[in-house]
Chains A and B, each alone.
Chain A
Amino acid sequence: MLRASTEVSGAEFDLNAVTGAATGDGGIEGGTLLHAFAEAVTLRDTARTAELRDALVEALGEPAMIDAAAIAAAFHGFVRLADATGTPPAGAAGGQVTMEFRESLGINEFYGARNG
């Protein structure tokens, strides 16, 4: 989905940022803050989450921070839904996720790809 949205927008973004293999905002406004916020929420780092909430409100506004929190929370559900049911990745993101693409991002090294 990120790849598709960057293609539509014309922006250039290093997709390795999502696995932590690259850093920077990559041309996405507030990208560094959003990346760090998603990480702090997932790792349940309360102090860091609070710090980044304030930074996001300052940089992008409160509604943006709320929607970033809503999406981070939503994906705590989506990942469990997919993992619990063994939902096959073929067909994800409108069928744009090829084996080569997964390999390039290191997704094939995840436990579920090796042991599912």
Chain B
Amino acid sequence: MPGIGYEGTYRVRETLVEAHRIAWRRIAEPGAWLDGARRVAVAAEVRAAEDCALDRERKAALSPFAVEGEHEATDLLSAAEVELVHRLTTDPGRLSRAWTEGLLAAGVSEEVYVEIVSIVCIVMVIDTFRRSLDLAPFDLPEPVAGAPTGYRAPGARRHDAWISLVQPEDVVESDGDLYGPTASPVVKALSLVPQAKRDYWDLAEVHYLPGSEMTDFATDVRAIDRMQMELVAGRVSALHQCVY
């Protein structure tokens, strides 16, 4: 795949390089609810959001709802889908249940919502990593033709999150590898669309920690110890005003 590589000043561990290659290729392929062209369009909107005047104005406002204006639809994404991508990219700490319900009422299905969230998060992780090393963002991939699978986890229900998810006891064989008998809330968040969940977590675990290591605070698997890792994680989360 052209434009994907880490030749440069720093030696990036190979597991990260490989995870980025896989994640970038997956963005271009048909997903569960979006085809490759729509998935790449989501990735493009993540980057477009950074130069969006409406997003900047909302971000600067005391309340994002105090600013009038709406995003416009593109050839491949509805106005509501563009709103989801832009707000999630630029102002994630001020989303609300009412805002999410507004997007669902505007025609974004729960399944499409989850798949878009997964893609936005993947692009944010990879673009942020490259920016932090003073590397240019990867070129967007060329979409791969094909139809989405249309798979929704049959055991997904509304619980206490804003979007339906699958509890461990409701996982069925057709969901594929989702999680074991227990899972933290954030691990379950994208489970409505198992492939979207896997796409995100396959990348996230290489960046942070494999699921099996997350509650093992005594073993260090990275080049910084667990306290150092959690200090970085905590500061990033606090700056985003993340309540999780």
Contacts and interface: CB of A to CB of B under 8 A. Distances in A.
A87 B189 contact: yes
Contact of A64 (B162, B206, B224): B224
B228 A41 contact: no
A17 B160 contact: no
Interface in A62-88: 62-88
A80 B117 contact: yes
A104 B141 CA distance: 45
Contacts of A89: 185, 243-244
B11 A66 contact: yes
A67 to B, nearest CB: 4
B239 A39 contact: yes
B72 to A, nearest CB: 21
Q: Is the interface on chain B under 10, 10 to 19, 20 to 34, or 35 or more residues?
A: 35 or more
B94 A28 contact: no
Given A82-B242, A83-B93, A70 B218 contact: no
Interface of A: 1-2, 4-9, 11, 13, 15, 17-20, 28-31, 34-35, 37-39, 41-44, 46, 49-50, 53, 60-94, 102, 107, 110-113, 115-116
Interface of B: 10-13, 16, 84, 88-89, 92-97, 100, 113-114, 117-118, 120-122, 124-126, 128-129, 131-134, 160-163, 165, 184-186, 188-190, 200, 203-204, 206-208, 214-215, 217-218, 222-244
26 contacts: A1-B226, A2-B234, A5-B227, A28-B231, A34-B228, A38-B232, A38-B239, A39-B239, A41-B128, A42-B236, A66-B223, A67-B223, A70-B129, A71-B208, A72-B232, A75-B240, A78-B186, A78-B242, A80-B88, A80-B124, A81-B189, A83-B92, A84-B100, A94-B215, A110-B241, A112-B94
